[in-house]
Amino acid sequence: MEEWQSRLSDDLAGRDKASRAYLDIKAVLLSHRVPPSTFLNIKSLAEALRLSATPVREALVRLAQEDIIFQAPLGRGYFSRAFRIDELASEFEAARLIASYTLVEQRDRVASELFWTFAVDGNAPSSNLFEHSLLIERFHLRLGELSQNLRFQRVMEVFVERSRFIRLHDLSAPGRLEEVGEVMRDLKRSIEADEMDAAVEILREQTKTTIGRLPDMMQEILRRAIAAGLSAEAALVRER
């Protein structure tokens, strides 16, 4: 019995370490600070995370399954990858479609339950970059929940995580925070007035604008990553 409990404890500890490695490496990769095609050395990553190689290897397998990194053929290791513009555009469009569906099909629940999403800086979206980004994330996550569809909810969760760094980059452009803030205020007014068709159109236009900005944003993000030339290990050390 004691031996079984010991093995169970060791197994749970191993899973916890693998989860930690997964989350830490994933955060660095989704910040786009590591140039594409950077080799992800298991031993070096383990040293940077102060873990053994096993949980790091498990983390990389999981990240490869999620297409955040890619595994070279014939077991030649793992590499970072750049997200393609068409993939990113598809994720933004999928989030818009789910949000639009929920606004129309669950309009009564949305009107009564979504108001708290805008409770940042009083009645209006915040002028703070990070708070504003959080506001947008909360909006999408809540609509995912209100859709009453677990698949839609998961899509929204993944979208929020994968688009976070791009969203912050977008909002940091001159005048962009104010522009998006006005869009969110219009969206808030439409939802409160139960004008869901207007809200859907606002989302459509805003998504179209963001997707149109993706090529330039990704080019700038990748340019900075290449100029910095950080390895995944170096980025992890900076995180600490």
Beta sheet of 39-40, edge-to-edge order: 39-40, 78-80, 69-71
pTM exceeding the 0.85 threshold for the entire prediction: no
**Domains of the chain, earliest start first:** 2-82 (1.10.10.10), 85-222 (1.20.120.530)
Spans of the chain below 50 pLDDT: 1-13, 120-124
Rounded Cα gap, residues 147 and 99, in angstroms: 8
190-222: per-residue pLDDT in tens?
988 899 999 999 999 999 999 999 999 999 999
DSSP 112-124: HHSGGGG-SSTTS
In this prediction, residue 115 carries a pLDDT of: 60
154-177: per-residue pLDDT in tens?
999 999 999 999 999 999 999 999
Residue from 109, 103, 131 nearest 187 by CA: 103
The 3-class SS string of 34-75 reads CCCCCEECHHHHHHHHCCCHHHHHHHHHHHHHCCCEEECHHH
Beta bridge partners of 80: 69
107-117: per-residue pLDDT in tens?
988 887 766 56
DSSP 69-112: EEEPGGG--EEE-PPPHHHHHHHHHHHHHHHHHHHHHTHHHHHH
